[in-house]
Amino acid sequence: MMLRIKRVPTVVSNFQKEEVGESGQFGAGCGRNCIRHCCLPGSKLPLYAFKRLNKVDNEKDLVGLEKKEAPVEFLDSLLLGEWEDRMQKGLFRYDVTACETKVIPGKYGFIAQLNEGRHLKKRPTEFRVDKVLQPFDENKFNFTKVGQEEVIFQFEPSEDDDVHFFPNAPIDADNSPSVVAINVSPIEYGHVLLIPHVLECLPQRIDHGSLLLALHMAVEAANPYFRLGYNSLGAFATINHLHFQAYYLAVPFPIEKAPTKKVTSTRNGVKISDVLNYPVRCLVFEGGESIENLSNVISDCCICLQENNIPFNVLIADSGRRVFLFPQCYAEKQALGEVSAELLDTQVNPAVWEISGHMVLKRKEDYEGASEENAYKLLAEVSLSKERFQEVKTLMFEAIGSIISETERVGDSLLEKPDIIPPQEDVEDALNKGSHPALVPV
């Protein structure tokens, strides 16, 4: 039996079409200034070439604090500056900076946002949720159809040992560049999409190169309030074209504050821990002798989940130092009719941002009545059972050749807390002032 749920498609581009009959085949000079071969000849976009990080000797190297000064400030001047430029040009469907946001009282500090702009009355489409790996379909919307004005820069590894910025670089169609584009239905300030090798039309599945690229973007941003997220098919990815999401929110996510318990370490020093006292069972990865070591371990786990048809979400936090991996089952429960009507009525799809504690609410009544109990109830439905989570962990550890240590006990010295957690009043003050910088240089 195929499991499907009725979903309202998320609009991420002004060029997105939902008509069933649209073939997506444009002739030469389609008139949309897209990034397909019909419009690419002669096109140029800014290019940020990042330095590959090979050996990581200490934490400062990993977050990029000891690198040679870049020719352009990646986060403020380039990413957020170009995002603001697109906002001033009216490319977004609504002003996300006007959305109400608050911290929900309680021990977790869940963040609630009222984002009515994402809840638009459109014809629902069917979405299959029982297959994590599905072939790319060029007849459906994909990111080659976006307009070039929605793409803010190319993001590629440097050919030497330095960072470079080219404000007007040709698009090399033969080498299928990775690009960063705006999300026209943003969740937060600076909401963008990282699309690896956009012209290769890869389906939504993680591989070693794509996750490493996402980690490099987190390192270049060098700001713990800029996170990247990934949703697999079956875990509320809405477009089957490989992409990561990212945005800036100047408060800690609840998942980042949760205590952890070390489970095991790999031979190259990547530490894997359980996250404790959180409604969604998950793992967190950190450390390693290099950023590539860290990326490879996480990629191997994601590939294992994909091949075993287990939906999952990924959060890249702390400027690439910590990565959370959430196997989940909400869409499957939803398709089987096992989710309560009360939760379904909210129309909240618990993807990576909601699971991490940033609850994007579509109805004013849900925002005004937001409580820790309601947020916890939703996320608890996302989580695998204790027994199933243990089975999934065993699958992943077998895939990476790691053995669970038998020495860990809750409450012993291996129970850890994040390094620095701002006081609650600082979090609320940041939200009151707005989650984005007062001024972004351009």
> Rounded to whole angstroms, how far apart are CA atoms 119 and 97?
16
The two tokens of residue 12 are 């991420």
Report the SS3 class of residue 283.
strand
H helical segments located in 193-253: 208-221
Closest CA to 155 of 179, 122, 130: 179
Sheet holding 358-361, edge to edge: 101-103, 111-114, 358-361
pLDDT of residue 216: 96
pLDDT digit string, tens, across residues 312-369: 999 999 999 999 999 999 988 988 899 999 999 998 999 999 999 999 999 999 999 9
In the structure, what pLDDT confidence band is assigned to residue 142 with cuts at 50, 70 and 90? very high
pLDDT of residue 68: 60
Q: What is the mean pLDDT of residues 96-113?
A: 95
The two tokens of residue 274 are 């359980």
Using a 10 angstrom Cβ sphere, with 0-12 exposed, 13-18 middle and 19 or more buried, the burial of residue 125 is: middle
pLDDT of residue 224: 96
Q: What is the mean pLDDT of residues 380-398?
A: 96
Check pLDDT > 90 for residue 416: no
Burial code (b: 16+ CB inside 10 Å, e: under 16) for 298-330 equals: bbbbbbbbbeeebbbbbbbbbbbbbbbbbbbbb
Check pLDDT > 70 for residue 208: yes
Backbone dihedral angles phi then psi of residue 103, each to the nearest 5 degrees: -90, 130
Check pLDDT > 60 for residue 221: yes
Q: What pTM value is reported for the model?
A: 0.88
pLDDT of residue 335: 87
pLDDT of residue 321: 96
Which residues on neighbouring strands pair with residue 226, listed in sequence order?
A: 248
pLDDT of residue 52: 83
pLDDT of residue 21: 38
In the structure, what pLDDT confidence band is assigned to residue 429 with cuts at 50, 70 and 90? low
What does each C-alpha distance from 293 to 228, 289, 368, 438 come to in angstroms?
A: 19, 6, 44, 37
30-44, 86-100, 137-151: range with lowest mean pLDDT = 30-44
pLDDT of residue 29: 53
Computed over every residue of the chain, the mean pLDDT equals 85
pLDDT of residue 39: 87
Look at 424 and 159; give whichever has higher pLDDT: 159
> Rounded to whole angstroms, how far apart are CA atoms 304 and 393?
10
pLDDT of residue 1: 53
Residue labelled with tokens 């979400």:
313
Domains with residue ranges and CATH for the chain: 39-417 (3.30.428.70)
Which residues are known to be catalytic? 243
212 CB-side CA count, 13 A: 20
In the structure, what pLDDT confidence band is assigned to residue 25 with cuts at 50, 70 and 90? very low
What does each C-alpha distance from 394 to 212, 289, 304 come to in angstroms?
A: 24, 24, 11
> Rounded to whole angstroms, how far apart are CA atoms 301 and 394?
11
pLDDT digit string, tens, across residues 157-197: 998 879 999 999 999 888 999 999 999 999 999 999 999 99
Q: What is the mean pLDDT of residues 254-271?
A: 95
pLDDT of residue 299: 98
Q: Which helix (H) or strand (E) holds 192?
A: strand 192-195
